[in-house]
């Protein structure tokens, strides 16, 4: 079981590593895409504001041109009325002043529109300037964010590597546990073998014990015989010997 647990543990580490690597790639791609999209959105907003500002400025310029035209016409009719008076023609002077009044009415009626157009144009120009500054700041921020993200990614890999050291220790511990299990199994098998062979050699052991016992008796008999007095022997007489 220890071997299987370690095997599946290693398989899990491989799967987790591949999943983490794939997820990191997706996160990095999404992060950079999101940052880039934010900058693109800001540029799109800037382009729309620039177009609106250009349209407002064009409208203001058109109104300003019309306004100045009526202002000049009013001045011209006033000058003509003065000439008519100098010539003693009050009726002509009166008609010139009537034309001047018409121009003054147009100028007065356009004053509000031209003031509003000018205010709108100036506001849009300020928005264009602010958006440009925001885009510049956004690009710098995006660069900083990408750098911070890369640094965080590197730090995470270091942390994973450090954590992997602990998992490696666990793997070695699993091998040691497996070795210990095998040793226990071997010892158990040896014990069963000893139990299975017990009693089979009892008779043989008894016979060897009997042999050892006979050897003691034999040695005892030899010691007893050695203690017995030895018989004296008379030398044989030769032909020339006599008593």
**Residue 191 forms part of a structural domain:** no
**Residue 66 forms part of a structural domain:** yes
Between these two residues, 24 and 102, which has the higher pLDDT value?
102
pTM > 0.75: no
Between these two residues, 209 and 107, which has the higher pLDDT value?
107
- pLDDT score of 102: 94
**Residue 199 forms part of a structural domain:** no
**Residue 31 forms part of a structural domain:** yes
- pLDDT score of 72: 96
Q: What share of the chain is helix, strand, coil (3-state, %, to 5)?
A: 90, 0, 10
In this structure, what CATH number is given to the domain that contains residue 16?
1.10.287
- pLDDT score of 61: 92
Closest CA to 10 of 180, 171, 172: 171
**Residue 206 forms part of a structural domain:** no
The arithmetic mean of pLDDT across residues 59-75, rounded, is 93
Could you count the other beta carbons within 10 Å of the beta carbon of residue 62?
Answer: 12
**Residue 175 forms part of a structural domain:** no
- pLDDT score of 141: 84
**Residue 173 forms part of a structural domain:** no
pLDDT per residue as tens digits for the range 153-177: 888 888 877 776 556 666 667 777 7
Provide the number of structural domains found in the chain. Answer: 1
d(CA 227, CA 237): 31
Tell me which residue range forms the domain holding 76: 2-162
Between these two residues, 72 and 240, which has the higher pLDDT value?
72
* Orientation of helix 2-86 relative to helix 90-197, angle to 10°: 180
Two structure tokens written together for 210:
């009997």
**Residue 241 forms part of a structural domain:** no
d(CA 42, CA 135): 6
């Amino acid at each position: 079981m220890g071997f299987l647990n370690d095997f599946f543990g290693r398989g899990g580490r491989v799967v987790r590593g591949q999943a983490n690597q794939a997820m990191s790639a997706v996160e990095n791609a999404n992060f950079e895409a999101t940052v880039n999209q934010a900058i693109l959105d800001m540029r799109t907003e800037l382009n729309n504001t620039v177009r609106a500002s250009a349209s407002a400025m064009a409208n203001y310029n058109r109104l300003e041109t019309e306004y100045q035209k009526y202002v000049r016409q009013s001045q011209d009719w006033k000058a003509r009325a003065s000439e008519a008076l100098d010539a003693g023609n009050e009726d002509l002077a009166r008609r010139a002043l009537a034309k001047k009044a018409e121009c003054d009415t147009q100028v007065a009626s356009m004053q509000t529109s031209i003031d509003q157009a000018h205010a709108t144009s100036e506001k849009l120009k300020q928005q264009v300037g602010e958006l440009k500054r925001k885009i510049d700041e956004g690009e710098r921020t995006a660069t900083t964010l990408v750098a911070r993200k890369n640094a965080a990614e590197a730090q995470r890999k270091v942390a994973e590597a450090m954590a992997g050291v602990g998992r490696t220790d666990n793997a070695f511990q699993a091998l040691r546990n497996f070795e210990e299990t095998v040793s226990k199994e071997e010892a158990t098998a040896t014990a069963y073998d000893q139990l299975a062979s017990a009693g089979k050699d009892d008779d043989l052991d008894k016979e060897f014990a009997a042999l050892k016992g006979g050897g003691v008796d034999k040695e005892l008999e030899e010691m007893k015989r050695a203690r017995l007095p030895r018989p004296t022997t008379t030398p044989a007489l030769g032909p020339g010997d006599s008593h």
